[in-house]
Chain A
Amino acid sequence: MTEQAVQPASRVTFVTRDESPPSERGWMPWRAKDRRRVNMGTSAIGDRVYKVAITLCAMAVPLLVVLIAVALSIAAWPAISEIGISLVTSSVWDVGAHKFGAAPALYGTVVSSAVALIIATPLAIGVAIFLSEFAPRWLRQPVAFLVDLLAAIPSVVYGLWGIFVLLPIMRENVMPFLRDDLHLGATPFFSGPAYGPSMLAAGVILAIMALPYISAVSREVLLAVPRSQREAALALGATRWEMIRDAVIPFARSGIVGGIILGLGRALGETMAVTMLIGNRPEISASLFAPGYTMASLIANEFSEATDDLHLSALMAVGAMLFAITLIVNGIARWLVWQVGRGGRV
């Protein structure tokens, strides 16, 4: 459309040029240069090149998803064809005996992420409500900034802090408190010796890491709730809490759920901090005090030691499962957040 609009102008330029005396035609350098500049053929080519270039750039994203899937399939195939379904169902992971059952890693991934969400969700939603409704104006920016910064801290730093600060606190204070003082030791979930590296410790660090994602999305969808919704509730005599509970949260629910699932996606795939805190033992234990494994930490921990092909391929098969699970979880989360109407980015 724009090309057509500009074309007549270029013709005019040509006509003016042709009026110059023939003796000046053809040799004046500025003439050739000018002609090139107004020549619409060139910019049409430029536009075409530009269009192809940005289309290729945009194709990088879907291509990347496909290539990741292909890479994982190729790497995982030997293990899948040789071990089959017991890769998922068997709980015996014994490298020496060539037995690769990743059930403990699947279990650990689910449990550590569940612990993380149980801790992080109320906190994150509380922060989001605080920031969108109750915080004094001067506090909003700094608190939002600090919470967002949690997402900027590298995983390995969380792991380091976890090993030297969180684990001793868990071992000496939190675990004995839960087990003995709260008498939760009677349940299978909080029983056994408190060594430190455990599912619970991994869950706590994951909660801290997932929190900023959940609260950022929740805050965004809470801010998207129309003002009239709040005013109507207050006008009907609702207290400020009732306004949030009955008029604001129902409006933002699917977005908040999306945020929680997004946090779940983070927790499922988190690698370094978990590897450093979970204890890396391929066993299924009901107690959260026991060490465990997650899919990501299994791969990270054993990759450099994997010398035979089947072991390596089994690790890649675990990676493929992780990819499939996180792909689905993130897809659902994004879809839910988009439902609210605003593209909820983190």
Chain B
Amino acid sequence: MSLNRRRHLTSGVMITLTYLAAVLATLPLLLILFHLLKKGASSISLDFFTNMPQPVGEPGGGMANAIVGTLILIGVACAVGLPLGIGGGLFLLENKGTRFANAVRFLSDVLNGLPSIVLGIFAWEFLVRPIGHFSALAGGIALGAMMIPLVTRTTEEMLSVVPNSLREAALALGYPRWRTSISIVLRTALAGIVTGALVAIARIAGETAPLLFTAFGNQFWSTKIGEPIAALPLQIFTYAISPYAEWHSLAWAGALVLIGMVLIISIIARAVTRARFGGPVD
């Protein structure tokens, strides 16, 4: 009897511990969001979005150039990462089970786990060093390279839920393979692919390490992709490690804007998937 009681006691304690783990694991997120709102919200004003960075001591500094720079970098990254990733996903689906497809799938997963700083060095070696100066293009390509494996895997996953009968129906109607893939299979899975793309964008939007080697940052207004460009995460980093309280509060405001962007994209992605498939897909 006492053995039995001890067994049930152990069970109860361990189950309680898993509840505790859940509380502890969600606590950091809530704390981070709380501090971002508390410290960041007060520094956010219209100036923040429309003004350029100011030297220390001058009021009214903003991050207009960094916000635009981040959007440009995301645009370049999408131009590189989305077509290659979606194409790769189509390939994996249509060549399921072949040795090459398995190798690509495996390498995509491995590449997803590589440190982003390594991709920065890659872009620096091929796109910055030979040219002799940093550029938004190199930054965008580094981020785009990060997107490729991510989009490849999500696309494949989303495409695999398209029923085979749909594909066969299209082929039976005389559609060539390529049109079947593009106007039937891709269109059916569009919501899922959009989700995958949004998840990838959310992931690269806040990347900083690769940009240190490529986009580099810029104190001035620049939208040229051949020139160094400012980016929100880079600006947050610079301000956060500076010794000035004023810049610290700007860093918090920047972080709040960045996290707002990332969370909104993530939540839209979730909503799109849920509307289409009736449940979250991770």
The interface bits of chain A over 125-166 (1 if a CB of B lies within 8 angstroms of the residue's CB, else 0) are 111011101110000010111111110111111111101110
Q: Which one of B44-52, B61-69, B71-79, B176-184 contacts A?
A: B176-184
Interchain CB contact under 8 A, A46 and B178: yes
A225 proximal to B (CB < 8 A) = no
Check if A156 sits within 8 Å of B121, measured CB to CB: no
Chain B nearest CB, measured from A49 CB (Å): 7
From known contacts A46-B178, A154-B258, A163-B240, infer whether A304 and B212 are also in contact, taking CB-CB under 8 Å.
yes
Q: Nearest Cβ distance between residue B260 and chain A, in whole angstroms?
A: 11
- Contact check, B233 vs A154: say whether CB atoms are below 8 A apart: yes
User: A326, B115: Cβ atoms under 8 Å?
Assistant: yes
Residues of A within 8 A of B87 (CB): 53-54, 56-58
Most chain A CB neighbours (cut-off 10 Å) among B22, B26, B233, B280 = B22
* B21 beta carbon closer than 8 Å to chain A: yes
In the complex, chain A residues 292-346 whose Cβ is within 8 Å of any chain B Cβ: 296, 299-300, 303-304, 316, 319, 322-323, 326-327, 329-331, 333-334, 338, 343, 345-346
A54 touches B91 (CB 8 A): yes
Distance, CA A319 to CA B121, complexed state (A): 8
Is B19's beta carbon under 8 Å from chain A?
yes
Residues of chain B in range 17-41 having any CB-CB distance to chain A below 8 Å: 17-22, 24-26, 28-32, 35-36, 39
Q: Is the CB of A159 within 8 A of B117?
A: no
Decide: A57 and B205 in contact? CB cutoff 8 A: no
Which stretch of B6-14, B187-195, B218-226 is in the interface? B6-14
Does A247 belong to the interface (CB within 8 Å)?
no
Q: Are A123 and B153 also in contact (CB < 8 A) when A61-B107, A153-B32 are?
A: no
Assembly CA distance A53 to B181 (angstroms)? 13
Q: Which of A99-107, A188-196, A236-244 contacts B (4 or more CB under 8 A)?
A: A236-244
- A323-B125 contact, Cβ under 8 Å, with A57-B83, A127-B21, A154-B259: no
Q: Report the bound CA distance from A327 to B110 in whole Å.
A: 7
A271 at the interface (CB under 8 A from B): yes
From 78 to 129 in chain B, residues with beta carbon under 8 angstroms from any chain A beta carbon are 83-88, 90-92, 94-95, 100-101, 103-119, 121-122, 124-126, 129
CA distance A148 to B262 in the complex (A): 13
Residue contact B118 to A322, C-beta cutoff 8 Å: yes
A146 CA to B29 CA in the complex, in Å?
7
A303/B236 contact (C-beta < 8 A), A46-B178, A123-B25, A157-B258 known: no
Contacts of A242 in B (CB 8 A): 7, 11
Residue in A146, A160, A262 whose beta carbon sits within 8 Å of that of B240 in the complex: A160
Measured between beta carbons, the chain A residues less than 8 angstroms from B236 are 156-157, 160
Is B137 in contact with chain A by the CB < 8 A criterion?
no
Which residue of A59, A68, A329 has the most chain B CB atoms within 10 A of its CB atom?
Answer: A68
Q: A219 — nearest CB in chain B belongs to which residue?
A: B282
Asked whether A21 is an interface residue with its Cβ less than 8 Å from the other chain, the reply is no
User: Complex formed: what's the CA distance from A327 to B145 in Å?
Assistant: 16
Q: CB-defined interface of A190-223 with B at 8 Å, one 1/0 digit per residue?
A: 0000000000000000001001000110001000
CB-defined contacts of A303 to chain B, threshold 8 Å: 212-213
Taking CB atoms and an 8 Å cut-off, the chain B residues in 169-223 that contact chain A are: 171-172, 174, 176-179, 181-182, 202-203, 205-209, 212-213
Question: In the complex, what residues of A have CB within 8 A of residue B39's CB?
Answer: 164
A304 vs B263: C-alpha distance when bound (angstroms): 31
In the complex, chain B residues whose CB is within 8 Å of the CB of A296: 115, 117, 209
Whether the pair A47, B94 counts as a contact (CB closer than 8 A) is no
Which of A23-31, A71-79, A85-93 sits within the interface? A71-79
List residues of chain B with CB within 8 A of the CB of A208.
28
Closest to A323 in B: B118
Q: Is the CB of B26 within 8 A of A147?
A: yes
Interface of A is mostly: helix
Closest to A37 in B: B174
Q: For the complex formed, measure the closest distance between the CB of B256 and the CB atoms of chain A, giving whole angstroms.
A: 9
Give the A interface residue count (CB, 8 A): 104
The reply to whether B126 and A67 contact each other, CB–CB distance below 8 Å, is: yes
Are B88 and A54 touching (Cβ within 8 A)? yes
What's the minimum C-beta distance from B167 to chain A, rounded to whole angstroms? Answer: 10
Q: Could you tell me the distance in whole angstroms from the C-beta of B98 to the nearest C-beta in chain A?
A: 10
Please name the residue on chain B nearest to A57 by beta carbon. B87
| Contact status of A155 and B32, CB under 8 A, knowing A57-B87, A269-B118 | no
Contact of B18 among A54, A129, A149 (CB under 8 A): A129
Q: How far is the CB of B13 from chain A (nearest CB, A)?
A: 8
For B14, what are the chain A residues with a Cβ–Cβ distance below 8 Å?
Answer: 241, 244
Known contacts A50-B181, A160-B252, A300-B212; A149 and B29 CB within 8 A of each other: yes
* In-complex Cβ contact of A58 among B104, B111, B124 (8 A): B104
Whether the pair B10, A239 counts as a contact (CB closer than 8 A) is yes
Query: Is A147 in contact with B122, judged by CB distance below 8 angstroms?
Result: no
Alpha-carbon gap, A145 to B279, bound state (A): 12
Is A43 located at the chain interface by the 8 A CB criterion?
yes
> Taking CB as reference atom, which chain B residue is nearest A220?
B282
Contact B122 A146 (CB under 8 A): no
Residues of A in contact with B (beta carbons under 8 Å apart): 2-3, 5-6, 9, 38, 43-44, 46-47, 49-51, 53-62, 64-65, 67-68, 71-72, 74-75, 122-127, 129-131, 133-135, 141, 143-150, 152-161, 163-165, 208, 211, 215-216, 220, 239-242, 244, 262, 265-266, 268-272, 276, 296, 299-300, 303-304, 316, 319, 322-323, 326-327, 329-331, 333-334, 338, 343, 345-346
Please give 8 more A-B residue pairs, beta carbons under 8 A apart, in addition to A61-B148, A134-B19, A155-B207.
Answer: A57-B91, A156-B240, A157-B236, A208-B28, A242-B11, A271-B116, A299-B117, A329-B113
18 pairs, A vs B, C-beta closer than 8 Å:
A43-B179, A47-B178, A58-B100, A126-B17, A143-B26, A147-B26, A157-B206, A164-B248, A239-B10, A242-B11, A262-B113, A268-B115, A300-B117, A326-B113, A326-B114, A334-B113, A338-B106, A346-B112
